[in-house]
Chain A
Amino acid sequence: MRTERFDIVVCGDGFAAAMTAMSLLRELPSNYAIHFVRSGNSTEADILYGSVTAPSAYDFLRKLGLDEPALFTRSGTSFCYGTWYQNWLGGRSWMQGYAQPFQNIAGVPLVHHLTRAELPLEPVLVSAQAALKGRFAHPPEDPNVPLSRAEYGYQFSVADWTRLLEAEIAKSSITTYGTPLARIDFDDFGHGAVRLESGEVLKTDLIVDCTGPERRALSEFGGKFVENRSVFSSSTRAAAPELGWPHRIVEADPFGWTSKTHLQQAIDTVRVQSIDAPRNMPGIEFALGSVDVAWIGNCVAIGQAACALEPLTPAPMILLQRDIERLLELIPLSDDSNAERREFNRRFKDDVDHAALFQGAFYCSEQEPRSDFWRLAATTAQSPKLKRKVAQFENRGVLVRFDLEPFNDEDWTILHFGLGRRPRHYDLQAQQLSEAQARTELARMRQAIEQMVPRMPPHHLYVANMKKYFEKRNYA
């Protein structure tokens, strides 16, 4: 059992910094001392983390102490069955719902039966149907209940969650420095120490750069940011006395898109558009892209310091979560962290590539781009992997998979259908059932959902009752 002290300095000021510092504190043993140097002005850029999580955030947040009683009673968090994309390419609209693995019928994936019967996917997606009706309930474990096939994440406000985490940091054993990072002092071996603006030098085993797009630490280690394109983004908040939809809404227009997130007491609106388009609100320009390597020497970049994606899907949150989890799995044990660094960078690159694949797929279309925003997004999305994914699905509904992708088969299938992609052929094994038998089975699935959804409570009532329950049990 290692007992020597190991110092980690987290630099940053915002969501990623707070989340990383708390995760390190909660997961690592006490000989890992966590220092938090408030640096930079990355809170403005936190808008790019978006406002929805994927279902995988549940366990991650619980480990941070952000369980549902905390999230729902101490912040405006609400539930999220997915995102409704409206007026997307070709004028298409669909619910990008979260789902458990789809049911096979006669051992053959659902998509092939739908293709054969020329039926849509959405009516047999329970999360989508509940979301569209504004209903919510936690999915039960009983597999006989259709709702058991739903998954959910959260709609949230980055500022709210940052506030919750910083309150925990203030009470914790994390040493916080109010003086910002001035520069990195390097020794003869390239090992960096953190020099504060006060002149104080923090000798540290590991520097975690959470300074967002400024990349204050990593840039001194030679980290290079590779920009794909730039966007302009702004956000506003409006009061909402009653909690709205259990899903986010993203609506496209010629110059970009606008999202609406339904929180308790508020609706948050985020606008992402071309930097050249007319601006109706104050905001910031962001360079989207990623660093070539996220861990150099004894400095590792987390969150937007490593990769900035537009918050079109939960991808930015997934990447932040994966950055932190990857760091925890590979936290150095000694001065020699070559093996850890190499593996971290390998997985980082895969995660970024694969998240970008999914987001890029939103922009791939036969449609003539509406403007430079759409043209540029489509151009930068091109990659052999995405080409293979789209070609295989369009050919025969085959889902090409790469190692540990952040988006699963269900996400991809829903996206393909949403964008109007239909396989030209279905798996011939589907013919083990007659077409009538398959249609009957699909109708049964659809009807079970149709009968169940009206019996589910509206989102706002479900949350109100849940909070009463938490209060009664003193959970919060």
Chain B
Amino acid sequence: MSRISKICVLGGGTAGWMTAAALSNKFSALGLNIELVESDQIGTIGVGEATLPHIRFFNQALGIDERSFMKATEATFKLGIEFCDWGKLGDHYIHPFGDYGIPLHGLDFHQFWLRLNQQGLVSRLDDYSYPIIAAEQGRFQMPGEDLNQIGSNFGYAYQFDSSLYAKFLRTYCEGNGVKRTEGRVTDTELNPETGNVDKIKLESGAEIEADLFIDCSGFRGILIEQALETGYDDWSHWLPCNRAVAVPCEARGEMVPYTRATARQAGWQWRIPLQHRTGNGHVYWSEFISDDEATHQLMSTLEGPALAEPKQLFFKTGRRRKFWNKNVVSIGLSGGFLEPLESTSIHLIQEGITALIELFPIEHVDPLDVEEYNDRMGLDFERVRDFLLLHYVATQRDDSEMWRYFRSMELPDSLEEKTQAWMSRGYVLKYEFGVFLPPSWVAVMLGQNLIPTGHDPRADRPDQSELERVLEDIKSRTMHAVEQTPRQGDFLARYGAASQSPQLVAGAAS
């Protein structure tokens, strides 16, 4: 039986409540005493409003009803991310949650596309992707059971209000017996012998002891850094954007099932359409743009009136040297930060929680568990980092200092090798672990105009006219499947996931 009986989760943002929800569900039989400490005075960061398909499995594992969750969080469906102006100004492409076409002759579809494209005989690769065409047309339906069928070969995620998600999970957690304590931490007491955190002290004078602390206190890392001085690996030389300004605005136009990331002169801007509003933010590198100018660029490109004052964020990309140190596990921004260009913030929280559950201390904090946890999370962060960096370096832009910086950057070996193998023959270096699988690399590299000079010669075996016919058939079936797909708004209503709340309007927003 576990001797770990008291857990303190510090911080009540997305990371804190997701962690508390998972622990209270998965270890319900253990009678764990879980206490979450948060302060209403401290706002949550909430940049993670867009997610990856893995979030569905998190919710399902907790027994959360999808419709209730979507209504409560004003969620929309997400089929991918649209990237605008990344390869060059005027470009745009969608990184979809799903494969292109269907595998032919045991090879990836894109190899056959490359063969015909090199002869100028095909339209864009996107035309063979159901989730891309459906996203472009604002349509959505659930994938079917046969994931090899066109119209079913995709995944989906959500775009939601992360503060509402935290609120939703709070209700869930309290139903599971999680205790919420309001308060700010004023001091931390370490055990003089073990160096573990013994207790935290709150402004109210209350003291909270625990066997295990989960630090979800955000960038500050109150326990993992301020108390334990764990250290931080700074990745700014690869991902130098270091500030963001975020603001919600009134929604305009159709509610589309995708997030948009538009490259700017010194960073990029996100647009996340929810049911009741649109989330926006500008991530930038302060070296090349002032805060005022960054805010101006954001506010002048909103689709509707702002619903709040813009919120400024400061960060440094990188990762904590140890995600788990002593009896403190850092989850969320306290563990590390990679800009939310590919919606990985919430995903990395989820990865942290999943690993923690598998390696949850049994009798005491075991160095073996700690080591395994840190190795796994380190690999996750590193592979996401390379994928994010790809977006910046796979560019033909040279219209600003930031883009010129990236064009002259020396890449990490791992990324350099990936790019060379891709350019030679459309080959994606093989790895099993990491968030982004080969179709994601294909999407970004082709989307940003890295067109390979060759292709897998095995794709030359099929007869030319037969291959052209097969590709045309796939394209036509893709289009047909999309035409049969309802618009997202209609689907949400029919599915029972449409929120009843009115659209937020500037001046009336709470």
Q: Please give the residue numbers on chain A whose beta carbons come within 8 Å of chain B beta carbons, in ascending order.
A: 1-2, 27-29, 31-32, 63, 107, 328-331, 333-334, 336, 338-340, 342-343, 346-347, 388, 391-392, 395-396, 398, 400-401, 403-404, 425, 427-429, 431-432
Chain B residue nearest in CB terms to A347: B430
CB contact under 8 A between A340 and B421, given known A27-B458, A32-B457, A329-B456? yes
Known: A343-B417, A392-B368, A392-B372. A425 touches B457 (CB 8 A): no
Q: Are A428 and B456 in contact (CB under 8 A)?
A: no
A415 CB, min distance to chain B CBs, angstroms = 19
Q: Which residues of A contact B369 (CB under 8 A)?
A: 395-396
Residue in A328, A339, A431 whose CB lies within 8 Å of B420: A339
Q: Are B29 and A330 in contact (CB under 8 A)?
A: no
Q: Which residues of A contact B366 (CB under 8 A)?
A: 395
Identify A338's interface contact among B30, B106, B420, CB under 8 A. Answer: B420
A329 to B106 CA separation, bound complex (whole angstroms): 11
Closest to A326 in B: B430
B461 part of interface (Cβ distance < 8 Å): yes
Most chain-A CB neighbours within 10 Å: which of B421, B457, B464? B457
Q: Is the CB of A398 within 8 A of B359?
A: yes
- Give A216 Cβ to nearest chain B Cβ, in Å: 27
List 4 other contacts, CB 8 Å, given A339-B423, A403-B430, A432-B29. A340-B421, A340-B424, A340-B427, A401-B433
B119 proximity list for chain A (CB < 8 A): 1
- In whole angstroms, what is the CA distance A32 to B431 when docked? 28
Is A398 a contact of B372 with CB atoms below 8 Å? Answer: yes
B-to-A contact residues, CB < 8 Å: 2, 26-30, 61, 106, 115, 118-119, 357-360, 362-363, 366, 368-369, 372, 417, 420-421, 423-425, 427, 429-433, 454, 456-458, 460-461, 464
Given A343-B417, A398-B372, A404-B431, check contact A428 B362 (CB 8 Å): yes
Find A2's partner among B2, B363, B457 (CB 8 Å cutoff).
Answer: B457
B456 CB contacts on chain A under 8 angstroms: 329
Give the residues in chain B near A342, CB-CB below 8 Å: 417, 420-421
Compute how far the CA of A331 lies from the CA of B458 in the bound complex, rounded to whole angstroms: 9
Q: Is the CB of A28 within 8 A of B358?
A: no
With A2-B454, A428-B30: A29-B460 Cβ-Cβ less than 8 Å = yes
Minimum CB–CB distance from B254 to chain A (whole Å) comes to: 38
Contact B368 A333 (CB under 8 A): no
- Contacting residue for B432 out of A339, A396, A403, CB 8 A: A403
Q: Are A431 and B29 in contact (CB under 8 A)?
A: yes
* Complex Cα spacing A329 to B30, Å: 50
In the complex, chain A residues whose CB is within 8 Å of the CB of B30: 428, 431
Which of B115, B432, B458 is A328 in contact with, Cβ under 8 Å? B458
Q: Which 5 A-B pairs have the closest CB atoms?
A: A431-B29, A29-B460, A339-B420, A333-B454, A403-B432
11 contacts between A and B (CB under 8 A): A27-B461, A29-B458, A32-B457, A328-B458, A333-B425, A333-B457, A392-B368, A396-B359, A398-B358, A403-B432, A404-B430
Is the beta-carbon distance between B424 and A339 smaller than 8 angstroms? yes
Are the CB atoms of B368 and A343 closer together than 8 Å?
no
- Which chain B residues lie closer than 8 Å to A400 at the CB level? 372
| Inter-chain contacts of B461 with A (CB < 8 A) | 27-29
Chain B residues with CB below 8 A from A343, complex form: 417, 421, 427, 429-430
- Other-chain contact of B457, A331, A401, A404 (Cβ < 8 Å): A331
**Nearest CB in chain A to that of B368: its residue:** A395
